[in-house]
Structure 1
Amino acid sequence: MTAATPDGTPLAPSAPETTISAVTGDDERAVVALWEAAGLTRPWNDPSADLRAALSTPTSTVLGARTPEGGLVGTVMVGYDGHRGWVYYLAVDESSRGAGLGRALMVAAEAWLVAEGAPKVQLMVRETNTAVLGFYAALGYSDQACVVLGRRTD
């Protein structure tokens, strides 16, 4: 896998055998297990429903990083709402962290969103997840000085 940051800077090919492509419904158990192991799920969200919803519309997908043996070691959910691209569920298996796979998944997510026509990419990080904030800052993401408001509809 050869990957680059959005400005074209090559990423270290520390996991050249890993490939990134869209997951399918057949991957549901592995995807959800990875999200749970990475601490991305919450009791009020059904991760299986989130995955199925992302795979059921042409404006979103979930990309997965796989080993040559087919093992799923990373994911990222992307969607384009017609105004902005959004990134969710970026997860890398603990045994594969630190090898550049998170960066490669973000490069793939950004490429997918650009191909969809998204002029801007956004994501949300919980305030308490300070380690991840540093990861995204290193990729060029910054606080957009806005407040995200929400309300459950179910």
Structure 2
Amino acid sequence: MVEPSSAGRSGEKWAVRAFDRADTESVVALWTEAGLVRPWNDPKLDIERKLTVQPELFLVVEDDEARSTSERIIGTVMAGYDGHRGWLYYVATARSHRHQGIARSLVREAERLLLDMGCPKVQLMVREGNEGALGFYDDLGYERFSVSNTGRRLIVDA
């Protein structure tokens, strides 16, 4: 477990830690609530794939006082490093815990782990129209780029 890396505005402490398989249902519920799940990406398959490549870069924050197991995970980030640059995916915070610094702590811990691997740069993609997310990354010092993304599915999930 990573040492608690931040405190919320109300003085709460939380620990950023590596994902555990037991977190799967709670993580999928969080991603669904946060609007990150898409019909063409099976979130459970995304988790399984991540666990085969740099699983130590899949981080969560847990709420020890959650009312149910499906609400236990309140923050996530999935990172990766390909030898050229790092990437961040699935950055999410539960609506009930937003604006407390959880996402900031997750991103900073992912950046620290990437830097420890020798990663010189980190990037991420934000869907058009998600101004709240863009503002969050602006505040963290991320630079906006004018690029076009292209992609091609090699394995169809759905």
What range describes the TM-score normalised by the shorter chain of this pair?
Answer: 0.7 to 0.9
Counterpart residue number, 1:116:
117
Equivalent residues of 2:62, 2:75 under 8 A apart: yes
- The alignment yields a C-alpha RMSD, in angstroms, of 1.8
Q: Which runs of 5+ in 1 are unaligned?
A: 4-11
TM-score by length of 2: 0.85
Within 1, Cα distance between the matches of 2:56 and 2:149? 21
Counterpart residue number, 2:132:
131
The offset of 1:59, in angstroms, is 6.8
Counterpart residue number, 1:68:
64
Counterpart residue number, 1:153:
154
Counterpart residue number, 2:42:
46
The offset of 1:68, in angstroms, is 3.4
Identity rate, percent:
45
Equivalent residues of 2:14, 2:63 under 8 A apart: yes
Q: Which runs of 5+ in 2 are unaligned?
A: 67-71
Within 2, Cα distance between the matches of 1:13 and 1:34? 19
Equivalent residues of 2:8, 2:102 under 8 A apart: no
Change (3 A) 1:144 1:59: farther
Q: What SS does the corresponding residue of 2:115 show, helix, strand or coil?
A: helix
Q: What SS does the corresponding residue of 1:64 show, helix, strand or coil?
A: strand
Q: What SS does the corresponding residue of 1:39 show, helix, strand or coil?
A: coil
Question: How many matched pairs?
Answer: 146
Within 2, Cα distance between the matches of 1:59 and 1:28? 13
Counterpart residue number, 2:27:
31
Within 2, Cα distance between the matches of 1:59 and 1:21? 11
Equivalent residues of 1:54, 1:60 under 8 A apart: no
Between 134-143 and 70-79, the greater mean CA deviation after superposition: 70-79
Q: What SS does the corresponding residue of 1:77 show, helix, strand or coil?
A: strand
